[in-house]
């Protein structure tokens, strides 16, 4: 892919490949590498196969299998070198292909649940993403944004400060007092800068709900990053680790009972599981998505939901649902909201990924706008890269748009900022007369607190 | 030239050679399996479970036994369910092929006798045996699909009754050849499209294909000559031995790892979320 042509350093890549393959293969990765039967069942699940079969999970993961075979199998060391299927390192064109494949995977996990062998091809593609990052093969616009987060310099940027401060002001207008960084609160309402940018109204609505429910909550006086830990989607493990340290320190400092977030993308998984597993700590608090938290309160009878008369549905964000296991909570809330709740044809573990997340990190125009605001210049290569991410969005979007049309849903609720952007793009592109919105925006006005 | 190996004149027929090599094959298989499993053990790192699902009061902390079983069934069936919806041809071919292979390998009467010779308790399954042909007493390729037997019995005496019309060695062999043909066609298609193809794909499928043809020819007595019969049967067993011996190094090992993979997936669904 063009975005890296001028900057591929093959020596650095070779070194990175050795580091990743000799350093990170454990029994799970070994299982993924050697147990694939090449049945190609996973093609059916991946949001990138509608664009090309070369983007099928098994085809993308084959790059890491070839590098693995050379290093860890007798066949790969001997016959495989001559008949194919085994490689010590990648040539320039192979490195470009690998880079292209890396950015055609959202690590959505859909392939794992469709694979008869339970292989997570996303994990293997992630290995390559890590190697690529170590070798500097990453779209510059993303690494610039990630660097702001890792270094902590994001807070020096006016536009970020303004966005955050304006969010807090609007929250205050909506609910009166907004407690900030209050230690020992029952609930820490966690959000990132990214959310403050793309859906401030959702965050304000959460503040309204928490206030309405008379909860002991607190918000953050300043965000902990752009979208922490953004390194996770770029293959930057070390950067992600640094940012997670910052987040963990803040969480333990506030020491709440619940940490409630509205984003059900990679941050949910990273901050709930990966962060604590990496630091080998058992948290005293629970990190929860807002739907989990509200479903708990609803089932405990703290509030009622005033019903609406509309066909509504739920798009399961991949990280929240497939990887995080949160399926029931949003359904409890939405079924209470409308008797006309309908499931999308692909839902639950088979929910069809919107094709963003790690697969382009958002709708390209949004990334460009963000870069402009931050004064990050977009090179020709990055521009081409971003433009190339549009086609998979259009192709995967067609499937999502058809599904929404099929069940005639008026409102598509979901729980992840990137899902909202990309599904909105698809519904507009295919002229589907439905709206997509964060579940909080559907619920806020219909939550009626019960008099105790 | 005749080679003397044990009591057999190996040069005369492949059959005794194949029988002699069965035990070494099994040893080789166990050696390979130990190697494969050993690699898993050597790379195993005990995971640190920071957030066990059971500790989470707001997610599915408590799961009933019924839900657990349902989830297990879903885990095993999801691949087929999605495949049938989105890739109906290859999924149907794949499922039928696996079913056909299991029935053939474990229930064909001739195979059962072979297994029971080495593993006597296998005899308990004898009542489930399927015959080589649906017609009684006639080992004929052309008489395989409907009863045209001179005996008073319309079908072979087995518990399958009229089902014997499809549950017989010849019919399933034809079916397998067609299904494997579809699979091989799928591989050629992938090859033409420049998609991932592995030497192991050809190794396994071609060996299986030829092995089925040899078995079919031998049991159908084509050509009808005892020397040919011994060689065809010997060749059939030898190929099967190559497949068995190399299983731990090929995709064939999925017949064991399949269960490992799915149970692992189920465990993650119910007990441990996050990174897999
Ligand atoms: S479905 Fe699983 S076993 Fe089949 S090709 Fe894909 S990763 Fe390999
Ligand atoms: S994790 Fe998702 S995007 Fe990546 S290969 Fe698998 S199905 Fe495709």
Residue bearing the CA closest to ligand 2, atom 5: A57
Question: CB distance B264–A118 less than 8 Å?
Answer: yes
Query: At B136, is the pLDDT very low, low, confident or very high (cuts 50, 70, 90)?
Result: low
Was domain A10-137 assigned CATH 1.10.101?
no
Please give the C-alpha separations between residue B35 and each of B32, B39, B40, B236, in angstroms, as whole numbers: 5, 6, 9, 27
B3 Cα–ligand 2 center, Å: 56
To test the ligand 2 pocket, which listed residue (A40, A43, A47, A265) has its Cβ within 8 A of the most ligand atoms?
A: A47
DSSP A268-305: HHIIIIIHHHHHT---SSEEEEHHHHHHHHHHTTSEEE
The confidence score (pLDDT) of residue B227 equals 83
DSSP chain B: ---EETTEEGGG-HHHHHHHTHHHHHHHHHHHHHHHHHHHHHH------SS-GGG-SSSS----HHHHHHHHHHHHHHHHHHHHHHSHHHHHHHHHHHHHHHHHHHHBHHHHHHHHHHSGGGGGGGGG-B-SSSSSS---GGG-SS---SSS-SS-SSTTGGGGGTSSHHHHHHHHHHHHHHHHHHHHHHHHTT----HHHHHHHHHHHHHHHHHHHHHTTSS--HHHHHHHHHHHHHHHHHHHHHGGGSGGGHHHHHHHHHHHHHHHHHT--S--
To test the ligand 1 pocket, which listed residue (A35, A37, A48) has its Cβ within 8 A of the most ligand atoms?
A: A37
The complex scores an ipTM of: 0.88
Atom of ligand 2 nearest to the CA of A122: 1
Q: Compute the distance between CA of residue B58 and CA of residue A296 in angstroms, rounded to an integer.
A: 6
CB-based contact B134:B155 (threshold 8 Å)? yes
Atom of ligand 2 nearest to the CA of A57: 5
Using a CB-CB cut-off of 8 Å, the residues of chain B touching A80 are: 199
Average pLDDT over residues A27-48: 94
Please indicate whether residue A281, judged by its CB atom, sits closer than 6 Å to ligand 1: no
Say whether pLDDT at A4 is over 70: no
Average pLDDT over residues A337-347: 97
Average pLDDT over residues A430-436: 96
Picking from B198, B202, B262, B271 by the largest number of A CB atoms within 10 A of its own CB, the best residue to mutate is: B198
Which ligand has the minimum distance to the alpha carbon of residue B261? Answer: 1
Domain ranges of chain A: 10-137, 143-303, 333-445
Please indicate whether residue A235, judged by its CB atom, sits closer than 6 Å to ligand 1: no
Q: Compute the distance between CA of residue A150 and CA of residue A308 in angstroms, rounded to an integer.
A: 44
What confidence tens digit (pLDDT) does each residue in A77-114 have? 998 888 888 999 999 999 999 999 999 999 999 999 99
Using a CB-CB cut-off of 8 Å, the residues of chain B touching A350 are: 78, 82
Question: CB distance B194–A326 less than 8 Å?
Answer: no
What confidence tens digit (pLDDT) does each residue in A206-237 have? 999 999 999 999 999 999 999 999 999 999 99
Please indicate whether residue A31, judged by its CB atom, sits closer than 6 Å to ligand 1: no
Number of independent structural domains in chain B: 1
Could you tell me if A451 lies within 8 Å of chain B, comparing CB atoms?
no
What confidence tens digit (pLDDT) does each residue in A289-335 have? 999 999 999 999 999 999 999 999 999 999 999 999 899 999 999 99
A36 Cα–ligand 1 center, Å: 5
Q: What residues make up the domain containing B23?
A: 4-272
Picking from A65, A97, A118 by the largest number of B CB atoms within 10 A of its own CB, the best residue to mutate is: A118
């Amino acid at each position: 892919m063009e975005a890296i042509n001028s900057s591929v350093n093959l020596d650095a890549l070779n070194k990175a490949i050795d580091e990743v393959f000799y350093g990170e293969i454990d029994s799970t990765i070994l299982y993924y590498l050697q147990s694939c039967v090449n049945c190609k069942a996973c093609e059916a699940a991946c949001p990138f196969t509608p664009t090309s079969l070369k983007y099928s999970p098994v085809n993308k993961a084959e790059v890491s299998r070839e590098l693995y075979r050379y290093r860890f199998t007798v066949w790969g060391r001997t016959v495989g070198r001559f008949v194919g299927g085994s490689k010590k390192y990648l040539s320039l064109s192979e490195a470009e292909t690998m880079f292209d494949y890396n950015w055609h995977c959202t690590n959505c996990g859909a392939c794992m649940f469709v694979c008869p062998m339970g292989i997570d091809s996303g994990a293997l593609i992630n290995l390559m993403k890590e190697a690529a990052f170590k070798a500097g093969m990453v779209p510059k616009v993303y690494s610039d944004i990630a660097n702001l987060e890792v270094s902590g310099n994001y807070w020096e940027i006016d536009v970020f400060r303004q966005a955050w401060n304006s969010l807090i002001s609007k929250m205050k207008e909506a609910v009166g007092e907004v407690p900030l960084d209050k230690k020992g609160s029952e609930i820490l309402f966690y959000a990132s800068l990214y959310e403050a940018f793309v859906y401030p109204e959702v965050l304000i609505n959460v503040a309204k709900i928490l206030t309405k429910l008379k909860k002991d909550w607190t918000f953050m006086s300043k965000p902990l990053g752009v979208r922490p830990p953004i390194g996770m989607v770029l293959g930057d493990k070390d950067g992600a680790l640094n940012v997670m340290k910052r987040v963990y320190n803040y969480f333990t400092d506030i020491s709440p009972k619940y940490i409630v977030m509205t984003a059900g993308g990679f941050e949910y998984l990273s901050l709930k599981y990966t962060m604590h597993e990496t630091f080998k700590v058992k948290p005293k608090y629970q990190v929860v998505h807002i739907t989990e938290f509200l479903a708990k309160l609803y089932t405990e009878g703290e509030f009622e939901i005033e019903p609406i008369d509309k066909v509504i549905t739920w798009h399961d964000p991949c990280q929240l649902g497939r990887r995080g296991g949160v399926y029931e909570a949003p359904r409890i809330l939405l079924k209470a909201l409308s008797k006309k709740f309908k499931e999308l044809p692909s839902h639950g573990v088979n929910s069809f990924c919107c094709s963003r997340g790690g697969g382009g990190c958002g709708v390209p125009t949004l990334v460009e706008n963000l870069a402009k605001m931050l004064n990050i210049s977009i090179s020709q290569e990055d521009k081409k890269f971003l433009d190339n991410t549009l086609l998979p969005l259009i192709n995967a979007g067609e499937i999502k748009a058809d599904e929404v049309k099929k069940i005639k849903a008026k409102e598509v609720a979901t729980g992840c900022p990137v899902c909202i952007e990309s599904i909105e793009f698809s519904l507009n592109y295919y002229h589907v007369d439905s709206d997509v919105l964060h579940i909080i925006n559907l619920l806020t006005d219909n939550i009626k607190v019960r008099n105790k | 030239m005749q080679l003397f190996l044990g009591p057999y004149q190996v040069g005369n027929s492949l059959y005794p050679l194949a029988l002699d090599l069965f035990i070494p094959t099994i040893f080789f298989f166990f050696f390979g399996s130990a190697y494969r499993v050993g690699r898993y053990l050597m790379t195993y790192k005990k995971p640190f479970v920071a957030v066990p699902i059971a500790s989470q009061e707001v997610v599915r902390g408590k799961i009933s036994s019924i839900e657990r079983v349902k989830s297990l069934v879903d885990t095993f069936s999801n691949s087929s369910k999605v495949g049938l919806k989105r890739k109906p041809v290859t999924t149907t071919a794949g499922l039928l092929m696996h079913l056909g292979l299991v029935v053939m390998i474990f229930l064909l009467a001739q195979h059962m006798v072979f297994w029971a010779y080495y593993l006597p308790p296998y005899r308990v399954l004898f009542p489930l045996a399927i015959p080589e042909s649906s017609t009684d007493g006639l080992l004929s390729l052309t008489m395989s699909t409907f009863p045209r037997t001179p005996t008073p019995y319309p079908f072979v005496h087995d518990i399958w009754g009229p089902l014997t019309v499809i549950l017989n060695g010849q019919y399933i062999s034809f079916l397998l050849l067609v299904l494997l043909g579809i699979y091989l066609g799928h591989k050629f298609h992938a090859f033409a499209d420049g998609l991932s193809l592995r030497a192991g794909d050809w190794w396994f499928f071609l060996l299986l294909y030829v092995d089925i043809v040899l078995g079919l020819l031998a049991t159908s007595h084509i050509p009808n000559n005892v020397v040919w019969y011994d060689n065809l049967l010997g060749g059939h067993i030898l190929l099967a031995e190559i497949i068995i011996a190399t299983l731990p190094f090929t995709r064939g090992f999925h017949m064991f790892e399949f269960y490992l993979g799915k149970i692992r997936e189920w465990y993650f669904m119910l007990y441990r979320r996050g990174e897999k």
